[in-house]
Amino acid sequence: MKISFRWTLIPALALLLVFAACAAPATPAPQPTAVPAQPTAAPAQPTEAPAQPTAAPAQPTEAPAQPTTAPEATVAPTATALPTAAAGRTQIRWFVGLGTGTDPAQVTVQQEMVDKFNASQDKIQLVLEVVAYDAARDALATQIASGNPPDIVGPVGVSGAEAFHGQWLDLAPLIEKNNYDLTQYDKGAVDFYKVGGEGQIGIPFAIFPSAVFYQRDMFDEADLNYPPHKYGEKYKWKDGTEEEWTYDTLRKLALLLTVDKNNKDANDAAFDTKNIVQYGYEPQYQDLRAVGSYFGAGSFVAADEKTAQIPPQWADAWKWVYDGVWKEHFIANGPTRESQEFGQGNPFNSGKVATALTHLWYTCCVTDAGGNWDVAVAPSYKGKTTANFNADTFRILKASKHPDEAFTVLTYLLGDASLDLLKIYGGMPARTADQKAFFDSLNETWKQKVDWQVFVDGIAYADNPSFEGYMPNYNESFDLANVFLNKLYTTDGLDMDKEIAQFQKDLQAVFDKKATP
Amino acid sequence: MNSFKELLTIPRLKPIARREALQGLAFISIWFIGFFIFTLIPMLATLAFSFSNINLAQEEALRFVGFGNYQKMLSDSSLRNALGVTLKYALIALPVGLAVPFAVAVLLNNKHLRAKGFFRVMFYLPYVIPFVAGIFAWGGLLNPEQGWINQTLEALGVQNPPGWLNDPLWVYPSLVILGLWGIGSAVIIYLASLQGVPTELYDAAKVDGAGWWATMRNVTLPMMSPVIFYSLVLGIVGVFQYFLVPLVVTDGTGRPGGATMFFNLYMYKTFFTFQNMSYGAAQAWVLFILILVVTIFLFWSSKYWVYYAGETREG
């Protein structure tokens, strides 16, 4: 049979060209505007906020050179070749990256803790694996799926851990076997990790209560009293009148503290919304659920663990923020908060925002905000105060091949190594006896006499259930919530009731999705 | 024309020629090895994955699901939206992406232009800047609140300047403008091709009384058609793979209102955010087949509009 050369060549050439184009995106070929000039494989993703309760923003980092011959920490987008286990020792791998812990300075201290542990005994060889935050979920998921999981993961918050729902080891049998003393922690903090159906999947380590950060100078300039430092206290206006410390009071303050380039505040009829130079309020690094939970604890999923719901107080919180952005202009909108002038996603740190509701770990990221900020208590909503709560700890994977040895390492991290680690993570010790030393160390950094007691008092107002708790199809649901929050910050003129109803419908669709056919 | 059988016949070579051929094969084998290990084998692996249930977010025993992942795409409205976004963007970006570098090359090739070298360097220079850095810079320039472009427009008296990347109406033009940042390489290739057009053809056209447009239509464009064809094919591949810019400028959220949720970005999220490897693999194969079909169509159509000097065509 005669085969036409052309008809053979056309598809062959087409196939080759497609292969070549797909394989080499960085080709210096003529590029119409659509052609990306860079390889498209998983670039570092700029994030508006740390998605996890972390003590520091996730940053791709490199491992510092270690002075010893011990296994070196690595920071890589994927797992790197591991050192061979030392003779006679069981190798335990400690995976860092789902939360804080990837900063070079943190890696150095973590490696020091590993070296100390390895020098202290001859049964276990602890190996530190640090993966850049943006790649950590994928790296861990891949390691688990390929049957090569690490033993210990952390520090990791609730949200980061929920991405691996059902895969954490119940520590209760190991706690009992080793007579580990849980009374050194507050019972509430221990129970925080007691999850129905899964057991005791964590032991308290670092907690991050929330509070309102505020700029004293801006309040002074506007001739306003500072917000209250004690729960239950009222706000005192300069004329002597007092008012309940609620979100409405915060709104009034924020309007007075929002200033345009002509120095007019947001209450002024001549206020120029196009040229705002200072904003009154910022829900700093708070995701959609966190924003909602300050108005009252809740969850996206009903008790049946299947039905999507929007707690009414969360809907109120979103509307309050949305109006603050688009109608009253005391919160920066999406493009503004992303601009360099307003901190590229960290507006309070730009020094141009008067108040920000966020967690204790935010001390990581406030170095450019000037040295005269302080903290006040979270406001109440409808008579109830909720100061939501982040908590990080180390967890052991169910898939760990050496749970006993992993528990030994876990008790070391929560014990002898804990103070050094908490210091670098910026975490408040869950162990009450250690809390004073922690705040003393913070005072060395922040010399303006911050009222840290506000955070300690805030523990009593933690959200329960945690806003970060389980929801079906977690990763996709979490992504949908992020997209919705982004929409609120970037789109003017939304009918919020309609949007919220649609969001609930979309969330239900994601909950109902079968991950695999 | 040679038959396919003749093409496959390996001619007997003299020892020197054989040695040269072997040396050539040794050099090219490095590429082949890389291609097999890093492209072909992973591609075939994803094909196998697409018929399975690998989802890193869920503990489930590995099983064969047939065409389940492909069927799922038919009812996935987000995927349909992503495909629509990609096609809409292609309709704007491809013509602009072909025409602008071509026009710039024609300008740079103009005999009346002074300081040609300077302009060529200026047009090429942005191409050497890391693309992500360029995206960030443009993101800042196009920021509707604080960006220099809108501040300039406002200073010029424009009351409501565009929302650029935050406005569904302006987001595609914004992305096209942003993409023009990297046309330097295309300009150089067009320029080289323009300079390769035999001057006798222009002289003949001049003698025949052809003006600028007639010369462009009857001489320049036909002679440039292989390069335009090449750009078009890579442009289409690029449009289908469009990913980095929307990922960086919108944090992968697809804002505004899903207008930047391109097919490739959705696929990336399926793989690495939702961790649904099998479904992502199925999407990757659908994307591959789409690109392949369009490319084959282009190659087929090329006989009607691409001119290869010296080629004899069958009646």
ipTM (interface pTM): 0.80
pLDDT per residue as tens digits for the range B228-237: 999 999 999 9
Mean pLDDT of chain B: 90
Interface test with A, best of B5, B244, B278 (most A CBs within 10 A): B244
Instruction: Specify the 3-state DSSP secondary structure of A445.
Output: helix
- Spatial CB neighbours of A179, under 8 Å, sequence gap ≥ 6: none
**For residue A474, how many other CB atoms are within 10 A of its CB?**
21
Domain with CATH 3.40.190.10 in chain A: 75-207+390-457, 210-388+464-512
- pLDDT mean over B149-163: 91
Residue A481 exposed, middle or buried by CB count within 10 Å (0-12, 13-18, 19+): buried
SS (H, E, C) chain B: CCCHHHHHCCCCCCHHHHHHHHHHHHHHHHHHHHHHHHHHHHHHHHHHHCCECCCCCCCCCCCECCCHHHHHHHCCHHHHHHHHHHHHHHHHHHHHHHHHHHHHHHHHCCCCCCCHHHHHHHHHHHHHCCHHHHHHHHHHHCCCCCCHHHHHHHHCCCCCCCCHHHCCCCHHHHHHHHHHCCCHHHHHHHHHHHHCCCHHHHHHHHHCCCCHHHHHHHHHHHHHHHHHHHHHHHHHHHHHCCCHHHHHHHCCCCCCCCCCCCHHHHHHHHHHCCCCHHHHHHHHHHHHHHHHHHHHHHHHHHHHHCCCCCCCCCC
Contact between residue A126 and residue A117 where contact means Cβ atoms under 8 Å apart: yes
Tell me if chain B has a CB within 8 Å of the CB of A272. Answer: no
Of A10, A31, A32, the CB nearest to B299: A10
pLDDT score recorded for residue A31: 37
A210-388+464-512 fold: D-Maltodextrin-Binding Protein; domain 2 (3.40.190)
**Mean pLDDT in each 10-residue stretch from start to end of chain A (517 residues)?**
48 50 39 33 34 36 33 42 68 93 90 96 95 86 86 91 88 95 84 80 91 98 98 97 98 98 96 95 96 96 94 98 98 93 93 96 89 97 94 93 95 93 87 88 91 92 87 90 94 96 96 79
DSSP A185: B
**Cβ–Cβ below 8 Å for B59 and A138:** no
- Spatial CB neighbours of B310, under 8 Å, sequence gap ≥ 6: none
Q: Which two tokens stand for residue A270?
A: 């001549």
pLDDT score recorded for residue B312: 61
CA distance B207 to chain A (A): 33
| pLDDT score of B106 more than 90 | yes
- pLDDT mean over B244-263: 90
Which residues 136-155 of A have a C-beta within 8 angstroms of B? Answer: 137-138, 141-142, 144-145
Domain B72-305 has CATH 3.40.50.800: no
pLDDT score recorded for residue A16: 53
Asked if the bond preceding A347 is cis, omega within 30° of 0, the reply is no
Of B140, B179, B292, the CB nearest to A33: B179
User: What residue spans define the domains of chain B?
Assistant: 72-305
| pLDDT score of B214 more than 50 | yes
**For residue B226, how many other CB atoms are within 10 A of its CB?**
15
Residue B29 exposed, middle or buried by CB count within 10 Å (0-12, 13-18, 19+): exposed
**Cβ–Cβ below 8 Å for B274 and A28:** no
Tell me if chain B has a CB within 8 Å of the CB of A476. Answer: yes
Between CA A68 and CA A76, with CA A71 as vertex, the angle to 5 degrees is 120
pLDDT score recorded for residue A427: 86
Produce one character per residue of A317-338: b if its CB has 16 or more CB atoms within 10 Å, e if not: bbbbbbebbbebbbbbbbbbbb
pLDDT score recorded for residue A73: 42
Nearest CA in chain B to A24: B39
Q: What percent of chain B has pLDDT over 90?
A: 67
Contact between residue A427 and residue A204 where contact means Cβ atoms under 8 Å apart: no
Asked if the bond preceding B256 is cis, omega within 30° of 0, the reply is yes
- pLDDT mean over B267-287: 92
- pLDDT mean over B71-90: 94
Beta bridge partners of residue A380, listed in sequence order:
A246, A385
SS (H, E, C) A359-402: EHHHHHHCCCCCCCEEEECCCEECCEECCCEEEEEEEEECCCCC
Residue with tokens 């058609």: B225
Between CA B126 and CA B136, with CA B130 as vertex, the angle to 5 degrees is 90
pTM for the model: 0.80
Q: Which of A251-255, B8-12, B33-37, B180-184 has the highest mean pLDDT?
A: A251-255
**Cβ–Cβ below 8 Å for A32 and B65:** no
pLDDT score recorded for residue B146: 86
CA distance A476 to chain B (A): 5
Of B68, B176, B253, the CB nearest to A517: B68
DSSP A342: G
Q: Which bin fits A380, alpha (ψ -120 to 50), beta or left (φ > 0)?
A: beta
**Cβ–Cβ below 8 Å for B1 and A42:** no
- How far is residue A470's CA from residue A474's CA, in Å, rounded to a whole number? 7
Tell me if chain B has a CB within 8 Å of the CB of A48. Answer: yes
A75-207+390-457 fold: D-Maltodextrin-Binding Protein; domain 2 (3.40.190)
- pLDDT mean over B42-64: 88
